[in-house]
Amino acid sequence: MTAADRHEYERIPYLIVFDDRAAFRDTYGGVGESVVLESYLLKPQGVPSDTVTIFMHPIGGGAYLPMTNALPRAGHHVIYCNSRYRGVDNALIMEKVVQDLGACVRDARERLGYKNVILAGWSGGGSLSLYYQQQAQAPTVTCSPAGEPPDLTALDLQPADGVMLLAAHISRHGTFTEWLDASILDENDPERRDPELDLYDPENPNQPPYTEEFLQRYRAAQIARNRKITARVKETLEGLRSSGRTLEERAFVTHGTMADPRWLDPAVDPNDRAPGTCYLGDPKVVNMSPVGLARFSTLRSWLSQWSYDDAHGDGLRCAADLKVPTLVIGNSADDACTPSHTNRLYEAVGHEDRTMHTVQGANHYYVGRSQRPQLAEAVGTITGWLAERGWAGSL
């Protein structure tokens, strides 16, 4: 896209409001009987279109990312819709986020008048988009993993016309487990560790480059730790219910959630990322900092969002059921969603109308002036893919 092709665009804020009949609240603020979703329509001036691309991430916050704004500059109509859990995922229920995305899709078609809706799953929005599309095509999920509403089969979700997976990972629970610190032995005392699994202990005899034997042991320990936490969650929840406290919750802390061998050994799932860093900074610091994934969680949210075996929003399983055209874009210098995630998602798509493209040198967010060529390449790939299917408007 040249400078002459750049379009001015309007950023039109609006709200999507629908009834919330939940027995108890898991978000703070607002009217108790309603869910209110903060949304933005990014509309290029003088470029009519019957197609809109919708971005939603489980915890939102991407309305001003480079890609979100580059697409309307290229002439595409874009909606960025925040879920009800904007910025706070400690009580997030993925089934409720699917409900939120469904409200946005319906509003885009019925109120805003768009004929074609394309889901743009950025990062954690990838598995969300896949989960939504699977359930919109043929709903099967009648409750959350905790056995509670919403019933997705009763929501009359409208399927999208296409899905784009952009710098996406396989799922929140799958990615989280791959990042989980396998060395922690006691959830109540994170100082109790297996020194041979502590990636950040200089005395650990297992140092990069890691052996295949060590990696297999480490990955097995990560899954075992996730399952151990899940067992405790289920036991606690059942204890509350069996004592008649069916609406009570418990919150807890999970320490050590940024200890993926990928961050220290560039030979593990190799790409162009810089070793010793992750998308949140120094992984050793993030591992025990407040911003780590699942640092604060409720029982119900853990089962829906982080449980390795129980969470429904699995991108790979959901991708197998796709029936619409699918574009997968990976970034070769991504330090969050690495090539194995991109490749697994592409291979999982259950039909032949699938396209994959890797942007060489691109980081996770296309952040920085040096990333402008990579951003332009990604936007050009999206534009071409949409145009091939008659979804590019009057460009």
Residue ranges of the chain assigned to CATH 3.40.50.1820: 3-171+311-388
User: Taking a C-beta distance cutoff of 8 angstroms, is the pair 161, 324 a contact?
Assistant: yes
Q: Which two tokens stand for residue 389?
A: 């299917």
Flag whether pLDDT at 167 surpasses 80. yes
Q: Of 348, 335, 369, which is closest to residue 123 (Cα–Cα)? A: 335
Q: What is the reported pLDDT for 260?
A: 98
d(CA 26, CA 10): 33
User: Taking a C-beta distance cutoff of 8 angstroms, is the pair 124, 179 a contact?
Assistant: no
Q: How far is CA 153 from CA 156, 301, 303, 358, in A?
A: 7, 20, 20, 36
- Which whole number is the average pLDDT over 370-374? 97
Flag whether pLDDT at 84 surpasses 70. yes
What is the rounded average pLDDT for all residues in the chain? Answer: 95
- Which whole number is the average pLDDT over 237-255? 97
Count, residues in the chain: 395
Q: What is the reported pLDDT for 15?
A: 97
Q: What is the reported pLDDT for 30?
A: 62
d(CA 180, CA 226): 8
Flag whether pLDDT at 263 surpasses 90. yes
User: Taking a C-beta distance cutoff of 8 angstroms, is the pair 263, 210 a contact?
Assistant: no
Q: What is the reported pLDDT for 20?
A: 84
Flag whether pLDDT at 4 surpasses 50. no
The predicted-structure confidence for 297-309, as pLDDT tens digits, reads as follows 999 999 999 999 9
> Residue 173: which H helix or E strand, with range?
helix 172-179
Flag whether pLDDT at 33 surpasses 90. no
Helices 94-110 and 125-137 pack at an angle, to 10 degrees, of 70
Q: What is the reported pLDDT for 1?
A: 46
- As a whole-number percent, the residues of the chain with pLDDT over 70 amount to 97
The overall longest dimension of the chain from CA atoms, in Å, is 67
Residues contacting residue 285 through CB under 8 Å, at least 6 positions apart: none
Would you list the DSSP string of 179-196? HS-TTB--TT-TT-B-TT
- Which whole number is the average pLDDT over 267-287? 95
Adjacent-strand bridge partners of 252? 297
User: Taking a C-beta distance cutoff of 8 angstroms, is the pair 272, 359 a contact?
Assistant: no
3-state DSSP call for residue 344?
Answer: helix
Q: Of 210, 114, 119, which is closest to residue 168 (Cα–Cα)? A: 119
Give the CA radius of gyration of the chain. Answer: 21
Q: With left for phi above 0 and alpha for psi between -120 and 50, is residue 64 left, alpha or beta?
A: alpha
Q: With left for phi above 0 and alpha for psi between -120 and 50, is residue 387 left, alpha or beta?
A: alpha
Q: What is the reported pLDDT for 2?
A: 47
Q: How many helices (H) and strands (E) does the chain have?
A: 11, 10
Using 50, 70 and 90 to split pLDDT, how confident is the model at 393? low
Owner of token pair 């900074």: 281
Using 50, 70 and 90 to split pLDDT, how confident is the model at 360? very high
Q: Of 194, 158, 173, 97, which is closest to residue 324 (Cα–Cα)? A: 158
Using 50, 70 and 90 to split pLDDT, how confident is the model at 23? confident
CA dihedral 264, 270, 271, 277 (to 10 degrees): -10
- Which whole number is the average pLDDT over 337-341? 96
d(CA 12, CA 182): 45
d(CA 134, CA 131): 5
Q: How far is CA 227 from CA 121, 257, 311, in A?
A: 27, 14, 12
Q: What is the reported pLDDT for 3?
A: 42
The predicted-structure confidence for 95-138, as pLDDT tens digits, reads as follows 999 999 999 999 999 999 999 999 999 999 999 999 999 999 99
Phi, psi of 299, rounded to the nearest 5 degrees: -60, -50
Flag whether pLDDT at 70 surpasses 90. yes
Q: What is the reported pLDDT for 392?
A: 83
Owner of token pair 């991108």: 315
Flag whether pLDDT at 5 surpasses 80. no
The predicted-structure confidence for 172-216, as pLDDT tens digits, reads as follows 999 999 999 999 999 999 999 999 999 999 999 999 999 999 999
Domain 3-171+311-388 belongs in CATH node 3.40.50.1820: yes
d(CA 238, CA 344): 35
What is the SS3 string spanning 221-235?
A: HHHHHHHHHHHHHHH
d(CA 360, CA 378): 10
Cα 112 from chain centroid (whole Å): 26
